[in-house]
Chains A and B, each alone.
Chain A
Amino acid sequence: MNERVLHQVNETLYEKELDNGLKVVLLPRKEMEKTYAIFATKYGSIDQTFTPIGQDRFISVPDGIAHFLEHKLFEKEDGDVFQAFTRQGASANAYTSFSRTAYLFSCTENVRENVETLLNFVQEPYFTEETVEKEKGIIAQEIKMYDDEPNWRLFFGTIQALYAKHPVRIDIAGTVDSIQDITKDDLYTCYHTFYHPANMVLFITGPFSPESMMELIEENQNTKTFQPFDGIKRHYPDEPIEAGMEVNKIHMPVSHPKCMIGLKETPSRLTHDHLMTSRFVSSMIYDYFFSKSGEYYEQLYELGLIEDDFDLELHMERDFGFSAIGGSTPEPEKLHETLKNMLLTIARKGISEGEFDRMKKKQIGNLVRSLNSLESTANQYIYYHQNGFNYFDALPTLEKLDMVTFKQYVENWIDEKRISACYILPKNQE
Chain B
Amino acid sequence: MRRIIEERKRFPYFDLHLIPTKKFKTTIITIKFLSPLSREKATKKALLPFLLQKGTKQYPTERSLRIQLDELYDAQLSIDSAKKGENFITTFRMEAVNENYLQEKGNMLEKAFDLLQEILLSPKAENGSFDEKTIQMEKRTLEQKIKSIVDQKMSYANMRLIDEMCKDEPYQVHVHGYLEDLESLNGKTVFEQYQEMIERDRMDIYVLGDIDPVQTEKLAEKYFHFRRANDYKPSEAQMVKKDSVNEIIEEQDVQQGKLHMGFRTFTTYKDSDYFALQVFNGLFGGFPHSKLFLNVREKHQLAYYASSRFESHKGLLLVFSGIAPEQYGNAKTIILKQMDDMKEGKFTDQEVEETKKLVLNQLKETLDHPYGIVEMLYHQVLAQIERSPDELLNHIRKVTKNDVEQIAEKIQLDTVYFLTNENKGEQS
Contacts and interface: CB of A to CB of B under 8 A. Distances in A.
Interface string A71-91: 000000000101100110111
Contacts, number: 165
Interface stretch (A57-65, A250-258, A401-409): A250-258
Counting chain B CB atoms within 10 Å of each CB, the highest count among A108, A359, A374 belongs to: A108
A86 B144 contact: no
Contacts of A366: 74
Contact of A255 (B101, B147, B357, B362): B147
A298 B254 CA distance: 35
Nearest to A369: B26
B153 A90 contact: no
Interface string A227-241: 000000000000000
Contact of A427 (B63, B151, B253, B357): B253
Contacts of A254: 151
B140 A304 contact: yes
B148 interface: yes
Interface stretch (A44-52, A141-149, A336-344, A378-386): A141-149
B1 to A, nearest CB: 6
Interface in A369-410: 369, 371-374, 399
A362 interface: yes
A361 interface: yes
A19 B377 CA distance: 47
B73 A365 contact: yes
A307 B144 contact: yes
A239 B137 CA distance: 43
A328 B23 CA distance: 38
A350 B428 CA distance: 61
Contacts of A293: 63, 66-67, 69-70
Interface stretch (A31-39, A119-127, A312-320): A31-39
A80 B298 contact: yes
B145 interface: yes
Contacts of A34: 361, 364-365, 368
A91 B361 contact: yes
B278 to A, nearest CB: 15
A297 interface: yes
Interface string A116-139: 000000000000000000100110
A150 B368 CA distance: 33
Contacts of A399: 103
A145 B2 contact: no
Given A89-B360, A256-B148, A358 B67 contact: yes
Contact of A298 (B2, B61, B73): B61
B260 to A, nearest CB: 15
A357 B358 CA distance: 45
A374 B256 contact: no
Contacts of A359: 70
Contacts of B63: 292-295, 297-298
Contacts of B69: 293
Contact of A89 (B101, B147, B148, B361): B361
B62 interface: yes
A376 to B, nearest CB: 11
Nearest to B98: A368
Most-contacted residue by chain A among B148, B153, B354 (CB, 10 A):
B148
Nearest to A330: B144
Nearest to B289: A86
Interface string B324-348: 1000000000000000000000000
Contacts of A292: 62-63, 66
Contacts of B67: 293, 358
Interface string A300-315: 0100100111000000
Interface of B: 1-2, 21-26, 50, 61-63, 66-67, 69-76, 95, 97, 100-103, 137, 140-141, 144-145, 147-148, 150-151, 153, 252-256, 287-289, 297-298, 301, 303-305, 322, 324, 354, 357-358, 360-362, 364-365, 367-370
Contacts of B362: 91
Given A91-B358, A141-B303, A145-B256, A369 B97 contact: yes
A364 interface: yes
Q: Which of B2, B66, B101, B289 has the most CB of A within 10 A?
A: B101
B140 to A, nearest CB: 7
B361 A109 contact: yes
A378 to B, nearest CB: 13
Contacts of B253: 253, 427
Given A31-B22, A109-B361, 15 more contacts: A33-B367, A33-B368, A34-B361, A87-B289, A138-B297, A138-B301, A147-B255, A255-B150, A255-B151, A256-B144, A309-B148, A361-B70, A364-B73, A368-B73, A372-B26
A73 B101 CA distance: 41
A374 B301 contact: no
A145 B254 CA distance: 9
A87 B354 contact: yes
A222 interface: no
A145 to B, nearest CB: 5
Contact of A31 (B2, B72, B297, B358): B2
Interface string A253-271: 1111000000000000000
Contacts of B256: 141, 144-145, 148
Contacts of B73: 361-362, 364-365, 368
Contacts of A144: 255-256, 304
A107 interface: yes
The 6 closest A-B pairs by CB, nearest first: A365-B73, A365-B74, A293-B66, A89-B357, A253-B253, A141-B304
Contacts of B368: 32-34, 374
Contacts of B26: 368-369, 372
Give the residue among A82, A292, A363 with the most B Cβ atoms within 10 A.
Answer: A292
Contacts of A304: 137, 140
Given A256-B148, A362-B74, A368 B361 contact: no
A228 to B, nearest CB: 37
Given A293-B66, A308-B141, A369-B95, A138 B361 contact: no
Nearest to B356: A89
Contacts of B50: 308
Contacts of B100: 10
A250 to B, nearest CB: 13
B354 A86 contact: yes
Contacts of A10: 100-101
9 contacts: A87-B289, A137-B301, A256-B147, A297-B63, A304-B137, A359-B70, A366-B74, A368-B26, A368-B102
A148 B254 contact: yes
A5 interface: no
A8 interface: yes
A294 B369 CA distance: 29
